[in-house]
Structure 1
Amino acid sequence: MIEMTVAGIALDATNRRTPIVLLKDGSGRRALPIWIGDNEARAILMALEHQRAARPMTHDLMANILAAWEMTLERIVIHSLQDNTYYAVLTIRQGDLCKEIDARPSDAIALALRCDSPIWVMEAVVADASIPVDRDADEQERIAFRQFLDSIRPQDFSQQGRGIEDSSAS
C-alpha cells in the first residue's frame, strides 16, 4: 500500500467540469485523479480549508459519532478500481475491536480529513490509474518565468513607440 495525501480539488474541463480529487504520493511523483460529485468536492474542500458549517454536515456528523463512541478511523484504503469505479474501506477501531466498512472513496477521503487519518491506496490501483507528475517541467516553467521577470526593464512599459497616445497632452 502507498500512503497518499490530498493535493486538492480540480475541475475536469473536458467532462462537464466534473470535480476531481487529486491524491499525491509521498514522493510527489505520482498523482491519482478520482472523479467525484459536487457535494463530496465541497465536503473535501471544507475540510482542506478547515471550514465548518453552521450545523454539522454529513461527514462532520460521522466524525462526531466516532468521537462520541470513542472510535477512531485508523485509515482509509482505496483498494480497487473496477469499470472506472474506485472502491474503498474505512478501518474503524473501538478498543480491541476493529472493523472494515465499505465506503465510496470520496466519502472516505472527506471523513479521513476530518479525523486526521491516513489515506492508503493499493499499489495495483496506483499502478493502473496514477498519472506521473512532471516536477522537472514545473521547475523549468518556474525558472523560465523568473528569467522573464528578471529581463523586464522599466522602458518596456513606456508608452512611446507603441501607438498609445497620451490624452493629457491634448
Structure 2
Amino acid sequence: MIEMRVAGIALDAVTRNPIVLLKDALDRRALPIYIGHDQAKAIISALEKQKPPRPLTHDLFVNLLEEWNMNLERIIIHSLQDNTFYAILSVRQGEVQKRIDARPSDAIAIALRTGSPIWVMEEVVADASIPVDRDADEEERRAFKEFVANIRPEDFVQSRGYKSGEA
C-alpha cells in the first residue's frame, strides 16, 4: 500500500465534474478520482478546516465515531473496477477492528476530518495514477537499466554469503 494525501480538488475541463487529486509522499504519482459536487464541497471544507454551524453528514459520522469511542485508523482505496474506485474505512473500537465499505470521496472527507491516513493499494496506483515528475521517472529507469546491465552472477552468490562453487 502507498500512503497518499489530498493535493486538492480540480474540475475536469470538459465535463466540469470535480476530481479529487491524491499524491504520494514524493509527489511522483497523482491519482485522480472523479467525485460528486457535494463530496467536493465536503472535502474542500475539511481542507480549509471550516466548521459548519450544524453537523453535515461527514461531521455527523465523525461525531458518532467519537461518541462510541471508535478510531478511524485509516482509509484504504483498495480496487478499481469498471472505472469505479472502492474504499473501506478501517475502524477500531478497543480490540475490535471493522472494515466498512465506503465511496472513496466519503472516506476521504471523513479521513480529513479525523486526521486519518489515506492508503491506496499499489495495483490501483499502477492502474490509475498519472506521473507527476517524468524526469525523475526517466532517471530512475536509466539508473535501473544501468544497474541491471552491470549485474554479474557472482553478485548474487556473494550477497547470500556463499562462496563460488558451493550449493
TM-score range, shorter chain: 0.7 to 0.9
State how 1:34-113 maps to structure 2 within 5 Å: 34-113=33-112
How has the CA–CA distance of structure 1 residues 128 and 66 changed in structure 2, closer, same or farther, with 3 Å as cutoff?
A: same
Deviation at residue 83 of structure 1 after TM alignment: 0.3
Stretches of structure 1 that go unaligned for 5 or more consecutive residues are 137-170
Structure 2 residue 5 is matched with structure 1 residue 5: yes
| Percent of aligned pairs sharing the same letter | 71
Deviation at residue 53 of structure 1 after TM alignment: 1.1
Aligned residues: CA RMSD? 1.2
Q: TM-score, normalised by structure 1?
A: 0.78
Q: Who is 1:151 aligned against?
A: none
Runs of 4+ in 1 over 6 A off after TM superposition: none
**How many residue pairs end up in the alignment?**
136
Partner SS for 1:33: strand
Q: TM-score, normalised by structure 2?
A: 0.79
Distance in 2, Cα, partners of 1:134 & 1:9: 19
Distance in 2, Cα, partners of 1:101 & 1:69: 16
Q: Who is 1:156 aligned against?
A: none
Distance in 2, Cα, partners of 1:27 & 1:86: 23
Aligned 8 A contact 2:27 2:133 in 1: no
Stretches of structure 2 that go unaligned for 5 or more consecutive residues are 136-167
> Larger C-alpha radius of gyration, 1 or 2?
1
Q: Who is 1:140 aligned against?
A: none
